[in-house]
Amino acid sequence: MTPASRLSAAIEILADIEARRRPAADVLKDWGLSHRFAGSGDRAALAGLVYDALRRRASARWLLGADTPRATLIGMLVLQRGETAQTLAGLLSGERFSPEALSADEQGALASRRLEDAPPEIQADVPHWLWPSFEAAFGADAVQEGRALAERAPVDLRVNTLKATREKLLAELEPLGAVPTLLSPLGIRVPLGPEGRSPSVQSEETFRKGWFEIQDEGSQLAGLIAAARPGEQVLDLCAGGGGKTLEFAAAMDNKGQIFATDNDKRRLAPIHERLERAGVRNVQVRTPRGALPIDDLAGRMDMVLVDAPCSGSGTWRRNPDAKWRLRPSSLADRQKDQAQVLRAGAQAVRPGGRLVFVTCSVLPDENDASVRTFLADHDDFTAMPLGGLAKSAGFSGFGRLASAGGLGLQLSPQRSGTDGFFVAVLQRR
Ligand X SMILES: C[S@@+](CC[C@H](N)C(=O)[O-])C[C@H]1O[C@@H](n2cnc3c(N)ncnc32)[C@H](O)[C@@H]1O
What amino acid positions are annotated as catalytic residues? 360
Which residues have C-beta within 8 Å of that of residue 86, sequence separation ≥ 6? none
**Site membership for ligand X, residue 226 (CB under 6 A):** no
| Chain residues 333-362 in contact with ligand X, contact rule CB under 6 A | 337, 340-341
Residue 176: CB atoms within 10 A of its CB come to 17
Residue closest to 410 by CA, chosen among 303, 322, 314: 314
DSSP 358: E
| Single-letter code of the amino acid located at 266 | R
How many Cα atoms occupy the beta-carbon half-sphere of 73 within 13 Å? 24
The closest residue (CB) to ligand X is 243
- Give CA–CA dist 84/326, Å, rounded: 32
- Give CA–CA dist 132/141, Å, rounded: 13
* From 48-56, 136-144, 231-239, 272-280, span contacting ligand X (CB under 6 A): 231-239
| Contacts made by residues 169-178, CB under 8 angstroms, sequence distance 24+ | 169/206, 169/211, 169/212, 172/204, 172/206, 172/211, 173/201, 173/204, 173/206, 176/201, 176/204
**Residue from the set 13, 46, 155, 238 that interacts with ligand X by CB under 6 A:** 238
Residue closest to 50 by CA, chosen among 7, 21, 91: 7
The CB-of-45 to ligand X minimum distance in angstroms stands at 29
Q: Which lies closer to ligand X via its Cβ, residue 211 or residue 422?
A: 422
* From 24-32, 102-110, 240-248, 410-418, span contacting ligand X (CB under 6 A): 240-248
| Single-letter code of the amino acid located at 305 | L
Q: Which lies closer to ligand X via its Cβ, residue 62 or residue 421?
A: 421
* From 224-232, 241-249, 326-334, 406-414, span contacting ligand X (CB under 6 A): 241-249
The CB-of-209 to ligand X minimum distance in angstroms stands at 21
**Residue from the set 193, 241, 387, 394 that interacts with ligand X by CB under 6 A:** 241
| Single-letter code of the amino acid located at 35 | H
Coil, helix or strand for 228? coil
Please indicate if the annotation marks 296 as binding a ligand.
no
Between strands 283-285 and 257-260, the pairing is parallel
* From 194-202, 238-246, 324-332, 378-386, span contacting ligand X (CB under 6 A): 238-246
The CB-of-340 to ligand X minimum distance in angstroms stands at 5
The CB-of-307 to ligand X minimum distance in angstroms stands at 4
The CB-of-13 to ligand X minimum distance in angstroms stands at 27
Site string for ligand X, 109-128 (x = CB under 6 A): --------------------
The CB-of-302 to ligand X minimum distance in angstroms stands at 18
| Single-letter code of the amino acid located at 105 | D
- Give CA–CA dist 314/200, Å, rounded: 23
**Site membership for ligand X, residue 307 (CB under 6 A):** yes
**Site membership for ligand X, residue 65 (CB under 6 A):** no
In this structure, the dihedral spanned by the alpha carbons of residues 312, 315, 319 and 321, taken in order and rounded to 10 degrees, is 60
**Site membership for ligand X, residue 420 (CB under 6 A):** no
The CB-of-420 to ligand X minimum distance in angstroms stands at 13
Q: Which lies closer to ligand X via its Cβ, residue 72 or residue 282?
A: 282
Q: Which lies closer to ligand X via its Cβ, residue 128 or residue 343?
A: 343
**Residue from the set 309, 353, 364, 408 that interacts with ligand X by CB under 6 A:** 309
Coil, helix or strand for 33? helix
* From 27-35, 45-53, 55-63, 236-244, span contacting ligand X (CB under 6 A): 236-244
Coil, helix or strand for 398? coil
- Rounded to the nearest angstrom, the gap between the alpha carbon of residue 63 and the centroid of all alpha carbons in its chain is 27
Please indicate if the annotation marks 253 as binding a ligand.
no
Q: Which lies closer to ligand X via its Cβ, residue 238 or residue 386?
A: 238
Using an 8 Å Cβ cutoff, are 184 and 217 in contact? yes
Binding positions for S-adenosyl-L-methionine are 262, 307
Binding positions are 262, 307
Q: Which residues bind ligand X (CB under 6 A)?
A: 237-244, 262-264, 267, 292, 307, 309, 337, 340-341
